[in-house]
Structure 1
């Protein structure tokens, strides 16, 4: 896993908003041994973020080298007017704002060196995340710097199409929630078969982590891995027939991802219109 250059952030770095996702990223960077002395978290509540200096308003001093936007996308036009004048020609803006397009970011922060969209997921806290990256600015050095920062938290692919960025967000950014719901359904199913709740939960979670470990170790395609588990005309094959039905899991997942993409477009439209 690639570490950030010199294992430290450029100074100063501002985390403008630091909720669940940005906080998970801080946890991952700390676990990676990255020096956060140059990082300041700006939260209106002033609630402390472990491992970094936390303030309730934009700090005084020189323009930041790096700014990460971690607030709700609906607050962009509330935050941008005060933040934009504080940025310099060398400031790199990293946006975690779901649905806010690169062109919208450039419009709100015209003086920034580069605007980079990043779509992480919560396993960044364990350094097992997926963080999609996209920028429309012609600044390969800035994008490389951001990728190195994100690679300390997991797999950080750079995509050259904003639609692909949104697709990764739908699959990976939202994916932990969808996987958690599937595991929860397994737990409920186990309880329905008479298992005690704590036992059903332990079995379902260990099945998830064990399957993930097996998939990584063997590098088998998922369809083949399923075939390895399912004996012909056996119990697993009977269950897979339900998932593989014409109204089964592929159709359900397709509708789920389409809903996520559609909501992203709604957020993009709202941000574009201001």
Structure 2
């Protein structure tokens, strides 16, 4: 069977996406091939049933429909150059490298190469990811739909036309899971400080964040209104929010954090 998807790089992000695609049935193991120089990461991918190779010298015969570049921005040019023979052709290149503009791939692969830039996040591994897509004019409607369908198997998909907004996307949804994980860590630590056993503290923190996020997603109400519904005048929640919301403390901190991530994304793209 012809390989549809060639995945270059199977670290945390590449693996998360691959696992999501296979679990959903949108992609069969025989339709994927992974190029990953790290033996441990190759072995992890092989456990999913896909064929792997340590370098491009081991690529399967034929032209893949898409090549997904899931490597660090610092090495993206070097890795992309090894697939130059597939440029300016029928293969569409899909990049998940933070801060790397479409123009970079056009420079390396040829200016007629179909390129799709994607910013995913790690919850894609359980079908709860957020993928934002931006494509150049050379991507066919059929391939764009195939990629959208593939990504949709891993979560929600949004498309933007202005590529400059990808730095903001990176800072919000790309890096965002780390912010939430840290909040869970902080809430757990606070629960332990309040006297709860460690395991109970962890469960309360995780389930509260999960439940609140699920309610916000499924409710027709705005998050601000949902917050108000939990907050009784002069109650316990109001006392806590006076700390978090006083002088826009949390809002300012999150805004500063997102801006720092956005600026770093811009730097990586230079």
1:128 matched residue in structure 2? 128
2:175 matched residue in structure 1? 174
Deviations 1:104-131 (A, max 9, x none): 1111111664110011111111111100
In structure 1, C-alpha distance between the alignment counterparts of 2:158 and 2:60, rounded to whole Å: 34
> TM-score, normalising length from structure 1?
0.90
2:52 matched residue in structure 1? 54
SS in 2 for 1:248: helix
State whether residues 11 and 66 of structure 1, in contact with CA within 8 Å, keep that contact through their aligned partners in structure 2: no
Q: Please, which moves more after superposition, 107-116 or 48-57? A: 107-116
Q: Please, which moves more after superposition, 88-97 or 43-52? A: 43-52
In structure 2, C-alpha distance between the alignment counterparts of 1:191 and 1:22, rounded to whole Å: 35
In structure 1, C-alpha distance between the alignment counterparts of 2:156 and 2:70, rounded to whole Å: 20
* Superposed displacement of residue 143, structure 1: 2.3
1:264 matched residue in structure 2? 265
> TM-score, normalising length from structure 2?
0.91
State whether residues 16 and 43 of structure 1, in contact with CA within 8 Å, keep that contact through their aligned partners in structure 2: yes
State whether residues 10 and 65 of structure 1, in contact with CA within 8 Å, keep that contact through their aligned partners in structure 2: no
Deviations 1:87-144 (A, max 9, x none): 4610000001111001111111116641100111111111111000012324351322
Which structure has greater helix proportion?
A: 2
- May I ask how many residue pairs the two structures share in their alignment? 261
2:20 matched residue in structure 1? 28
Q: Does 1:83 align with 2:75?
A: no
Deviations 1:201-241 (A, max 9, x none): 01111111111222233232111111010001111011111
SS in 2 for 1:131: strand
Q: 1:44 aligns with which of 22, 37, 44?
A: 37
State whether residues 63 and 88 of structure 1, in contact with CA within 8 Å, keep that contact through their aligned partners in structure 2: no
In structure 1, C-alpha distance between the alignment counterparts of 2:194 and 2:2, rounded to whole Å: 55
SS in 2 for 1:37: helix
In structure 2, C-alpha distance between the alignment counterparts of 1:30 and 1:175, rounded to whole Å: 24
State whether residues 64 and 88 of structure 1, in contact with CA within 8 Å, keep that contact through their aligned partners in structure 2: no
Q: Does 1:240 align with 2:236?
A: no
Q: Please, which moves more after superposition, 175-184 or 52-61? A: 52-61
1:102 matched residue in structure 2? 102
RMSD (CA atoms): 1.8
1:223 matched residue in structure 2? 224
State whether residues 90 and 112 of structure 1, in contact with CA within 8 Å, keep that contact through their aligned partners in structure 2: no
SS in 1 for 2:261: helix
Deviations 1:41-61 (A, max 9, x none): 001124220231111111152
In structure 2, C-alpha distance between the alignment counterparts of 1:216 and 1:77, rounded to whole Å: 38
State whether residues 64 and 91 of structure 1, in contact with CA within 8 Å, keep that contact through their aligned partners in structure 2: yes
In structure 2, C-alpha distance between the alignment counterparts of 1:127 and 1:182, rounded to whole Å: 22
State whether residues 91 and 114 of structure 2, in contact with CA within 8 Å, keep that contact through their aligned partners in structure 1: yes
